[in-house]
Amino acid sequence: MPDHKLIIYQLLPRLFGNKITTNKFYGSAEENGVGKLNDITDRALAEIKAMGFTHVWYTGVIEHATMTDHSAHGIKPDDPDVVKGRAGSPYAIKDYYDIATDLAVDVEFRISEFKELVGRTHKSGMKVIIDFVPNHVARTYASDVKPNGVRDFGEDDDNTVDFSPNNDFYYIPGQPFVVPGGYNPGGDDFKSPLKDGKFDECPAKATGNDVFSPAPGINDWFETVKLNYGVYYLDGKKSYFDHIPPLWHKMYHILTYWCKMGVDGFRCDMIEIVPVEFWAWLIPNIKANYPHVIFIGEAYDKDQYYNYIHNGGFNYLYDKVGLYDAIRRLTCNEPGASAWEINAVWNNHCKGIDHNMLRFMENHDEQRIASRFFAGDAMLAVPGMIVSATLATGPVMIYSGQEVGEPAAGACGFSGDDGRTTIFDYWGMPEHQKWMNNGAFDGKDLPLGQQQLRNFYGKLLNITKDNEALNSGSFYELMIANEHQQGFDTKLYMYLRYTVHQRVLVIVNFNREARAINIKLPVEILAQFDLSGEASFSDMLSGVTFSTTDIGDGIPVIVNGSSGLLLNL
């Protein structure tokens, strides 16, 4: 386990470096632009580092299926009938050993450009995380740069049977794959000789979201093929692990390939639909040679958290169904939302593993805070971000554009107007582009309010990174000690983070209006830290000072609406 708090910046290079502002519905790479790996310059990385980040998660760098024709570079075009969006989904991997062609300035040297990005990131003082998508691949998967001796997925399969533990895929023998009806790839204006509503795949392979039919629906992951880890799903999920399935070794080789390039960690996609036995085998084997490499799992079943951490070997898991959901309800001022829901997170399903949980308020799957589907105002996230960053020693993550209030307005193509920044389409992020300022990365074009928002994120993250109590200290909740205090309500949340040397009192207010409350510290806390008499405390975020004539009687504070305090005790 790393000996410091991870502060992760997630960015899609395709979006991050894009300077073109056209944003045409279903626009091409030429029309809407596409960011390159080389756009993530030393200056850009220095600005990211200055905000307090320790790691960058480069999302969508491995080659995935796309509607863009790269045949001029010797790359076989993908059939658009099994591609989602003009750019394509980063989670429909076409070649696990290659870099997405769109991201390269010089396509012939695309892998070298990625290695150079890794080098720049390390030189800036940060580490590199990339995606590992273990459950499925693009229907057009075919590696053209795999190392000598590597056998491609399915190359040795017996496709006359629906299942064999030695096969890489699942099959529907004797039946061809059927493209879902009603799919119009690329929109009305997109023309391609391959756009005919058909895809040549016989026998059909099972679809990524466990659809064992030749005709998946339009809402299924029809662009992907499910990989076979030795589990027969049509026989009560019967496992065949008496010998290690060939796919396991192939995945080990793939991760080793990226580790050798200097990758420091993997965000692993949809880990719960891959058997935990695979993770229990894979992760220790990778760590035997690369002990520093971290594994972050996208997980949603809180009843399986312990299993994937203690048996599967993951360093960290998403805390989506716990803290994210609770904070979102509070941020949106939903009826019945209560800060006691935060108590339930650490006191129940995250009990004993709070340090293993990755906290966030945005990522590529979730709606933007500033969108009308979430809070509609990025500043309303302040109390939730304070809690997400400081509740525990586990990682906190920010999604590129979040720090400048990117609203994800409008439909993009395959991505509708749903409050999410598209991962399927060529697109520019308007508010992020103001900060990017045509590659200067100086925020010159940001309005004052967004500059203040970005400054809040930078101050919060740096305090969290540098303060011993916040990055590695213990936790003591103060809700019970204060629930009968005048001014208390269930939209306030308060706790102490502490070590022998440092103490930080965290108070957040999810109400839209200010609240005044006298914060009481329990007798055992006063005694443990020898606190008594008159005292003054400064808020590390604003510099505002609060004083008390006798700390034993409490600390009177005023917390602005949708805000919070980090008081040095």
Residues 279 and 402 in one domain: yes
Inter-residue contact 338 to 490 (CB < 8 Å) = yes
Separation CA 335–CA 289 (nearest Å): 51
User: What are 205-220's pLDDT values in tens digits?
Assistant: 999 999 999 999 999 9
Separation CA 266–CA 362 (nearest Å): 18
Number of CB atoms found within 10 A of residue 328's CB: 20
DSSP state for residue 539 in the 8-state scheme: B
Domain annotation covers residue 228: no
Q: How confident is the model at residue 3 (pLDDT cuts 50, 70, 90)?
A: low
Give the burial class of 459: count Cβ atoms within 10 A of its Cβ; 0-12 exposed, 13-18 middle, 19 or more buried: middle
| pLDDT of 1 over the 60 cut | no
Inter-residue contact 207 to 225 (CB < 8 Å) = yes
Is residue 237 classed as helix, strand or coil in its secondary structure?
coil
Separation CA 65–CA 86 (nearest Å): 10
Closest CA to 271 of 152, 422, 169, 132: 132
Residues in the chain: 569
Residues of the chain with pLDDT > 90, as a percent, come to 98
Q: CA-CA-CA-CA torsion for 111, 113, 119, 125, nearest 10 degrees? A: -120
Residue 70: its pLDDT value, please?
96
Domain annotation covers residue 185: no
Domain annotation covers residue 392: yes
Dihedral sign of CA atoms 477, 479, 480, 482 in order? positive
Q: How confident is the model at residue 2 (pLDDT cuts 50, 70, 90)?
A: low
| Domain boundaries, position 510 | 471-568
Residues 462 and 475 in one domain: no
Residues 340 and 450 in one domain: yes
User: What are 152-206's pLDDT values in tens digits?
Assistant: 999 999 999 999 999 999 999 999 999 999 999 999 999 999 999 999 999 999 9
Separation CA 564–CA 412 (nearest Å): 35
| Residue 497: strand pairing partners | 475, 504
CA 131 to chain CA mean position, Å: 9
Separation CA 31–CA 20 (nearest Å): 8
Last residue of a domain, one of 399, 433, 466: 466
How many domains, in total, are found in the chain?
A: 2
Separation CA 167–CA 177 (nearest Å): 18
Q: Which residues of 556-566 are buried (b: 16+ CB within 10 A; e: fewer)?
A: ebebbebbbbb
Residues 436 and 360 in one domain: yes
Residues 355 and 423 in one domain: yes
When pLDDT is averaged across residues 330-337 and rounded to a whole number, the result is 97
Inter-residue contact 505 to 420 (CB < 8 Å) = no
Residues 265 and 350 in one domain: yes
Amino acid identity at 49: K
Residues 13 and 132 in one domain: yes
Domain annotation covers residue 328: yes
| Residue 505: strand pairing partners | 496, 567
Separation CA 505–CA 369 (nearest Å): 26
In sequence order, what are the residues at sequence separation of 6 or more whose Cβ sits closer than 8 angstroms to the Cβ of residue 489?
Answer: 511, 515
Last residue of a domain, one of 466, 486, 521: 466
| pLDDT of 138 over the 70 cut | yes
Residue 549: its pLDDT value, please?
96
Is residue 163 classed as helix, strand or coil in its secondary structure?
coil
Separation CA 501–CA 144 (nearest Å): 56
Domain annotation covers residue 16: yes
Residue 243: its pLDDT value, please?
94
Residues 507 and 446 in one domain: no
Domain annotation covers residue 215: no
Closest CA to 61 of 247, 258, 351, 305: 258
CA 499 to chain CA mean position, Å: 29
| Residue 359: strand pairing partners | 396
| pLDDT of 349 over the 90 cut | no
Residues 514 and 392 in one domain: no
Domain annotation covers residue 112: yes
Residues 270 and 375 in one domain: yes
When pLDDT is averaged across residues 390-417 and rounded to a whole number, the result is 97
Residue 11: its pLDDT value, please?
98
* DSSP codes, 424-442: SS----HHHHHHHGGGT-S
Amino acid identity at 380: L
Residues 497 and 459 in one domain: no
Inter-residue contact 404 to 448 (CB < 8 Å) = no
CATH number at residue 331: 3.20.20.80
For the record, the structure tokens of 384 come out as 């939730």
Tell me the whole-structure pTM to 2 decimals.
Answer: 0.97
Residue 235: its pLDDT value, please?
86
Residues of the chain with pLDDT > 70, as a percent, come to 99
When pLDDT is averaged across residues 94-111 and rounded to a whole number, the result is 98
When pLDDT is averaged across residues 461-485 and rounded to a whole number, the result is 97
Dihedral sign of CA atoms 224, 225, 227, 233 in order? positive
Last residue of a domain, one of 445, 466, 487: 466
Domain annotation covers residue 292: yes
User: What are 514-566's pLDDT values in tens digits?
Assistant: 999 999 999 999 999 999 999 999 999 999 999 999 999 999 999 999 999 99
Phi, psi torsion values for 362, nearest 5 degrees: -145, 150
Closest CA to 137 of 192, 189, 82, 68: 82
Separation CA 99–CA 342 (nearest Å): 40
Separation CA 372–CA 469 (nearest Å): 36
Residue 4: its pLDDT value, please?
84
Inter-residue contact 385 to 361 (CB < 8 Å) = yes
Closest CA to 472 of 452, 446, 494, 499: 499
Q: How confident is the model at residue 286 (pLDDT cuts 50, 70, 90)?
A: very high
User: What are 443-460's pLDDT values in tens digits?
Assistant: 999 999 999 999 999 999
DSSP state for residue 133 in the 8-state scheme: -
Q: Which residue has the tokens 């074009």?
A: 445
Residues 433 and 478 in one domain: no
